[in-house]
Structure 1
């Protein structure tokens, strides 16, 4: 119960208003928490799948690179790799869920070619380039998901603390304070009623 609160009708109305606001805030925060948790679980599932995709893509890319090295030799692959001129562009935009800003990563490539002659090369050279580009795109998506999970998890923790503070502290204290003031006001009204009856009785006795 709040300390040093005078049992007046003004304070009673004020506390009732605060209590109503606290209950509304609790309901809204509880809904926010549920939405955030659902979205967080969804992103975790996506991240698990995305991690598997990245692992598979990198595995395929390195297998293609090894095949290229076997086909034309490591020195040739190194020479060709130094001639590769591909610009990687990573655009980061934003989206919001319940006020939480989450990144959206878009990875694209601009090829400035031809950067090496196809003569004396192997299919595996082009294959490894394409596979590594796919892996980079998937890694961008995985980074987006991981950052989003961290931010949502932090927001869920903050929201849970606020919900618990309202549910365990603020609302019970306000409820107790309202009940205390109502009880005191009712006692005062009863005392006043008794006093008025006594005064009335004395006046009647004097008239007699």
Structure 2
């Protein structure tokens, strides 16, 4: 590995050793964070898969109910029944922090508290199949909102895992080895300088001894 230009001094050596110590601690913390993110991400993925299967089955059943309702009612009657809905649903968003990731939390609220307001029509000229269809769509809504929340959370967690993985790799394969090599380089240089200094001192001592003995 090519060593970046560094000043081979004891002060620089001390600075690099502190940098290596910080990078090593940071590498461990990031690895622990990455592993915990992966654990929570996999939990969310499993929850997402199960909830998606449930929602898809609920929507399939709702569609079947609407097909039955349409077969027992005229198009005009069906359109008139659903023309002016009485109920409205509002979705608000807040966030919770999970391993430095802001995970969305969706909360629903209705315009009126009456659960029967999902039916925007009278029951005299409509079929029970339409009631079942409207009820099944109303029942699937909370799970659908929850599914959207989990899928967005999975996406955000996956992005954070990728960023953390890149930081771990940068420390593990670039910064730490590079700093270690710089420390070895400076240590070698300092050792060489110390040996050279000792050699010079020994030569000076020999010269002084020779002069003292009149050689």
TM-score, length-normalised on structure 1? 0.89
Separation in structure 1 between the aligned mates of residue 183 and residue 204 of structure 2, nearest angstrom: 31
Identify the range of structure 1 (34-43 vs 112-121) with the bigger mean alpha-carbon deviation.
Answer: 112-121
Q: Residue 78 of structure 1 corresponds to which residue in structure 2?
A: 79
Q: What is the distance in 2 between the residues matched to 1:134 and 1:81?
A: 17
Alpha-carbon distance in 1 for matches of 2:139, 2:93: 18
For the residues of structure 1 that align with 2:188 and 2:33, how far apart are their CA atoms? 36
Which residue of structure 2 aligns with residue 42 of structure 1? 43
Moved more, 31-40 or 124-133: 124-133
Distance (whole Å) between structure 2 residues aligned to residue 3 and residue 118 of structure 1: 82
- State the match for 1:128 in structure 2: 133
Q: CA deviation at 1:70?
A: 4.2
Q: Output the CA distance in 2 between the equivalents of 1:18 and 1:28.
A: 15
Question: What is residue 20 of structure 2 aligned with on the other side?
Answer: 19
In 2: Cα distance, 1:206 partner to 1:33 partner: 70
RMSD, aligned CA:
2.1
Cα distance in structure 1, aligned partners of 2:108 and 2:93:
9
Contact 1:47 1:142 in 2 (8 A): yes
Superposed displacement of residue 21, structure 1: 1.4
* Paired residues for 1:26-105 under 5 Å: 26-105=27-106
Residue of structure 1 equivalent to 2:122: 117
Which segment drifts farther, 128-137 or 68-77? 68-77
1:104-152 Cα shifts (integer Å, max 9, x gaps): 1223433474843333444333322221012222221111122112221
Between the aligned partners of 1:72 and 1:4, the Cα distance in structure 2 is 83
Offset of residue 3 of structure 1: 2.5
Tell me how far 1:63 sits from its aligned partner: 2.4
Contact 1:108 1:137 in 2 (8 A): no
Structure 1: where are the runs of 5+ without partners?
none
Question: 2:170 matched to 1:169?
Answer: no
Scaled by the length of structure 2, the TM-score of the pair is 0.86
Give deviations 1:149-190, integer Å, cap 9, x for gaps: 222112211111111111111111110010010111111112
Q: Whole-Å Cα distance in 2 between the matches of residues 143 and 86 of structure 1? A: 21
The alpha-carbon deviation at position 7 of structure 1 amounts to 0.9
Q: Deviations over 1:66-111 (max 9, x none)?
A: 3333455443332221233111111211112221112112234334
Does structure 2 conserve the Cα–Cα contact (< 8 Å) formed by 1:107 and 1:136?
Answer: no
For residues 171-190 of structure 1, what are the structure 2 equivalents within 5 Å? Answer: 171-190=176-195
- Alpha-carbon distance in 1 for matches of 2:19, 2:95: 36
Deviates more, 1:66-75 or 1:138-147: 66-75
